[in-house]
A and B are shown apart, each in its own frame.
Chain A
Amino acid sequence: MALEKIARNIPASLWSEASEKLVEVILNSPNASRMPSDLAKTILYYWQRDQLATEVGLHRLLEASMILEPEKTVSLMEELGLTEIVTMLKETSRQ
């Protein structure tokens, strides 16, 4: 399933918390050098405009987080109680 669709399933009440936590995972990842430059620039674009805690922002953060830290991303979604998202992410990883 596309990450865009998965991001749309994150409830708005959790956008801010999910965004904060995903950013933390991305910035502290030892695999940060795997970040595609285009994706990094898109995230910077949304960050500058305070749009990381939105559907489009979360889509890009999820994408980056899944590239850099797929297991941590799934755990983070579990911590947030987003079981449906966890299932979707696991399915995406298998594809």
Chain B
Amino acid sequence: MKDVSNMIEFGIEFVPRDLYWKTTFYAIQAEKIGFDYLWITDHFNNRNVYVSLAIISAYTERIKIGLGVTNPYLVHPVVTAQVVATLNEIAPDRMVCGLGVGDRTTLQMVNVKQTKPLATIRESVRIIRDISSGKSLEMNGEIFTLLGARLNFKIVNPVPVFVGAQGPKMLALAAEIGDGVLINASHSKDVENAMKFVYEGMERSGKKPDDLNISVYTSFSIASDYDKAFKAVVPVVAYIVAGSPEMILERHGISCEIADKIRDAIVHGQWKEAFSCVDNAMAEAFSICGTPETCVEKIDRLVKAGVNQIVAGSPIGPNMRESINMIATQVFPQFKK
């Protein structure tokens, strides 16, 4: 057993690209083996996140389930508030709302710009929190205007809002206004750096450590063979590199030119070209990838950086079912009592 707090929670992220029943099958498996949270991504070009969460909530009983994450550029925050309030009826006290600025590459496909991200997220969190709590909201914000909007049904209880963040200002804002922060990183260097801004945001709002769930949202690929784990993680890493800010690319010695090249290839559907640009160094920087022993070492570094929840994000591994079982048998015993 590693020398870490037994308060560490584990989350798992699924991308609803698979058939609904497969995602639900893995969700049931994740609940059975002891994951604490289950996050479903929201991209317009995959299966719908809300529908996926509705069916998953019907086939699970304990695991917390969350939007991981939605964005206010494609979905108005009142709609998000309506959805999370409804889902929280189906899965009482299990629903979590994850919100972020969205995936740059996917939004680019529909010509949506991530304008004024800080103001957009700050106002969205207020709207989601107030509306999903049953309050009536009048608001004349920089981005959104609400004229006494409220839901016409009774609210069970408030839904925690987690804010996804990567850059310094968004990390501080997430910690300031969120019930949880989802740090979008996989490398301990990035998480250690992010924690400075998380603490800054907590200080700004007078939060104590117990007031904020600090989660790290990793790209994760586990297999008994490194090459298999690497091969599975390549497409996800390509998307991350394409969407990462210059500052983070520089921290890992990745050129902006190669990131631009990958982004351009993805936008034009040239997957082979995009994925061929991904090397081991990129996978090391932007994922937890490898054998169980390697994954445990990398998770341990993140835990020591001060996070409360490790989210094993897509792809999980080359064989989803085997990889989930591998986490249960070879990773959890190192961190969970």
Seen from chain A, the residues whose Cβ lies within 8 Å of a Cβ on chain B are: 23-24, 27-28, 32-33, 35, 37, 40-41, 43-45, 47-48
Given A44-B59, A48-B59: A35 and B19 within 8 A (CB)? yes
B25 contact set on A, CB distance < 8 A: 27, 43-44, 47
B19 touches A33 (CB 8 A): yes
| Interface residues as binary, B1-35 with A (CB distance below 8 Å gives 1, 0 otherwise) | 00000000000000000011110110011000000
A22 to B: closest C-beta gap in Å: 12
**What's the Cα separation between A23 and B319 when bound, in Å?**
13
* Tally of contact residues, B, Cβ under 8 A: 13
In angstroms, how far is the closest chain B Cβ from the Cβ of A88?
A: 27
Residues of A within 8 A of B320 (CB): 27
Residue in B19, B21, B28, B319 whose beta carbon sits within 8 Å of that of A41 in the complex: B21
**Residue in contact with A23 in the complex, picked from B20, B59, B60, B321, CB distance below 8 Å:** B321
**A residues less than 8 Å from B24 (CB atoms):** 44
Q: How far is the CA of A37 from the CA of B117 in the complex (A)?
A: 40
A32 and B19 within 8 A (CB): yes
Q: Is the CB of A48 within 8 A of B60?
A: yes
CA distance A35 to B20 in the complex (A): 11
Q: A44-B28, A44-B59 are in contact. List 18 more A-B contacts (CB 8 A).
A: A23-B321, A27-B22, A27-B25, A28-B319, A33-B19, A35-B19, A35-B21, A37-B21, A40-B19, A40-B21, A43-B25, A44-B24, A44-B25, A45-B59, A47-B28, A47-B29, A48-B28, A48-B60
